[in-house]
Amino acid sequence: MSVVGFDLGFQSCYVAVARAGGIETVANEYSDRCTPSVVSFGPRNRSVGAAAKSQVVTNCQNTVQGFKRFHSRAFSDPYVQSAKSNLVYDLAKMPSGATGIKVPSYFTDTDRRSVMDAAQIAGLNCLRLMNETTAVTLAYGIYKQDLPAPEEKPRIVVFVDVGHSGYQVSVCAFNKGKLKILATAFDSELGGKAFDDILVNHFCEEFGKKYKLDVKSKPRALVRLQQECEKLKKLMSANSSDLPLNIECFMNDIDVSGKLNRGQFEEMCAGLLAKVEGPLRSVMEQAKLKKEDVYALEIVGGASRIPSIKERISKFFSKELSTTLNADEAVARGCALQCAILSPAFKVREFSITDVVPYSISLKWNSAAEEGLSDCEVFQKNHAAPFSKVLTFFRKEPFTLEGYYNNPKELPYPNSTIGQFLIHNVVPQASGESSKVKVKVRVNVHGMFSVSSASLIEVMKVAEGEEPIETDQPVKEEEVCTSCICTECKVCGCGVRVSERTTEDAKQAKKNDQPPQAKKPKVKTKTVELPIENHLHGQLSDDILNMSVENEGKMIMQDKLEKERNDAKNNVEEYVYDMRDKLHGVLEKFVNEADRDTFALRLEDTENWLYEDGEDQQKQVYIDRLAELKKMGQPIYERYMEAEERPKAFQELGRLIQMYMKIIEAYKDELYDHLDELEVTRVEKEVKDAMIWMNGKMNQQNNQDLTLEPVVKVGEIQAKIKELYSACNPVVSKPKPRVEPPKEEKTENGPVNGQEGTESQPSDSDKATSAGMEQGTAENKLPEMDMD
């Protein structure tokens, strides 16, 4: 089972996989661990990654990039409409009204659902959507051996991620075996792309004045300028001197040039650089920390290499930056680690992760007292996640809850709606009173808000003699009042029970409200699960999602068929060029002049056909065309290969014959005198026959023209070698019989000089010595073992 972490960035992607040896960032088909976030659409198939990026200029209007910011946004969204004018490709409205896939910490609920839909369409089983900064904290903390104990004061580390499209900051508290995100802040418009755009606008203006060119009117020229400006930005990060920008045949066959240095670049970007400190200050205020509390300052992201950004971050904290993590791959590695923790296939060190809710979330509903809308904040900003709460309502009929973000100004785009949740099958009690409805709301591991369950508490009277039964299970989640902070009343005006008072207060209030002589009737309760109908903003419906999955499957199959067709076409083209060169090279002496001219003409006709009528043919047409060419070229190539390998085969056969001849000549020597004479005679006959066969074939082949079929083939020579070996080797390799040493005879006389049995009965010391030697020998024979 594969455990993979994906870092889907604005500009590029990284994929990390968990293996037995640890986490590894995998390379693509171009042996590059960085894959561009680009998709190019051709007339028959799609290209993805590096193959698509190579078509950014040549197929700019059908090559899509920078689509991360379009996730979940409606086609009519102001950002989408403003971005359209700066894109070299067109955006089309989908049936759902949406455009447009680790996720940034500032992604809203709608954005996250869009990514989950995209993962499902792609056929991925997403175990968890991780905030980018949270993935970085996991990659940082899980390998640390010196973290404080759980009961000690946590270690505070600030993480800054400056990517191509956004700027994120988070504060994390580390203890041994766990991490907790304390606060997050962001600027979704501050990233490497913003600096690129400043350079592009600068040179568009400069080239307009200098060369009278309207760069933005030509999509291809604009794409080339964007690529060169990105290269220039990277060069300025490492050099402070003047750097040139040159583009040949830029527009109207005009070569353009310009130059810029780091100082001028920082002056142009002063407005962007001034926005660096805002999220840093915000995250420290949210976490209620001082700069002195920060243990380390870790920075990641591709745009973090810009010197002026690093300088401002370091100056704000008065602390040196730490770059212990891989700036580009840390997010993907953290995601892979999280997947390995969740997967049963891997045993990973226990490490708990507590994330936060990036925005405050509230619910609103129609009040039961018909006083208009009521609302309640259910999750505050930077609340721990995942988390759930239980809300208690008193209703007689179905009702609707609407989730929304409290402060739309904090969002990356002005759409605060999460969705509506309809609670069905709500009915009054038998007595006509309002029923008690418990609604569970939660933020799951993906950071998505939902109303996960709803249940109705039905109260039934108990007959005389029957014991009351409580079937309502106690709720472990936090139960809160959703509209007021009442202290005296049992039910507030909105119809929501107050559940935050202590048990003693509740009992005392209950006792005071009832007359002394009143006796509570015996009742039993039953919990009934209620269906919930979700209307989530921006999420694809089941029909559209299934249709998208089906269309993706069709496109994958079409891509596969097109690849096979192109491979078949390339095989024909490759064979034509290869054989045409060899006909006047290594194959020249293996084909006569007439056949060579005929074959060369056929190759030339095939080449012309490939660029004319054969430009767009079916796969089988190319396969048949290649088979026709090989019918003429394969015999020539086989004659060449036979001529190359035949001398080696004859040499091997001659070496074997010579070895057996030496053994036959030494037959009477002591080493071979145990061999049977008849068998040696048979071996001698086999060797002589093989020698005669080899000499005859060699002579015939030497007299044979190389343009004709060979007299003997390499396969026949190898068969002869095997035949000779099988006939001779069992005889010449027969082992020599072992000679038994003569046995010593016992004397019939008595003991000599009175020493009876001295040879047959060794002394005790001799026995001990012998036992020790035997033990040592046994120990020497034991296999070596690695001790764990």
Report the pLDDT value the prediction gives residue 664, as an integer from 0 to 100: 86
Which three-class secondary structure state does DSSP give residue 48?
A: strand
Distances (CA, A) of 474 to 460, 521, 612: 18, 22, 78
Residue 474: pLDDT over 50: no
314, 318, 323, 325 alpha-carbon torsion, rounded to 10°: -100
Report the pLDDT value the prediction gives residue 382, as an integer from 0 to 100: 80
Report residue 700 as tokens. 């015939």
Instruction: Give the model confidence (pLDDT) of 351-384 as tens digits.
Output: 899 998 888 888 888 765 555 567 788 888 888 8
Instruction: Give the model confidence (pLDDT) of 498-552 as tens digits.
Output: 343 334 444 554 455 555 554 555 667 888 899 999 888 878 888 888 999 999 9
Task: Write the DSSP assignment of 76-137 as a string of letters.
Answer: T-HHHHHHHTT-SS-----TTSB----B-TT--HHHHHHHHHHHHHTT---S---BHHHHHH
Instruction: Give the model confidence (pLDDT) of 270-317 as tens digits.
Output: 999 999 999 999 999 999 999 999 999 999 998 999 999 999 999 999
CB atoms within 10 A of CB 566: 14
Q: Whole-angstrom Cα distance, residue 203 to residue 121?
A: 40
Instruction: Give the model confidence (pLDDT) of 148-159 as tens digits.
Output: 999 999 999 999
Interval 328-334 mean pLDDT: 92
Mean pLDDT of the chain: 82
Report the pLDDT value the prediction gives residue 521, as an integer from 0 to 100: 59
Q: Whole-angstrom Cα distance, residue 410 to residue 279?
A: 12
Report residue 558 as tokens. 């079409």
Report the pLDDT value the prediction gives residue 760, as an integer from 0 to 100: 42
Report the pLDDT value the prediction gives residue 512, as an integer from 0 to 100: 55
Whether omega for the bond prior to residue 386 falls within 30 degrees of 0, making it cis, is: yes
This prediction's pTM: 0.73
Report the pLDDT value the prediction gives residue 377, as an integer from 0 to 100: 81
Q: Whole-angstrom Cα distance, residue 457 to residue 472?
A: 7
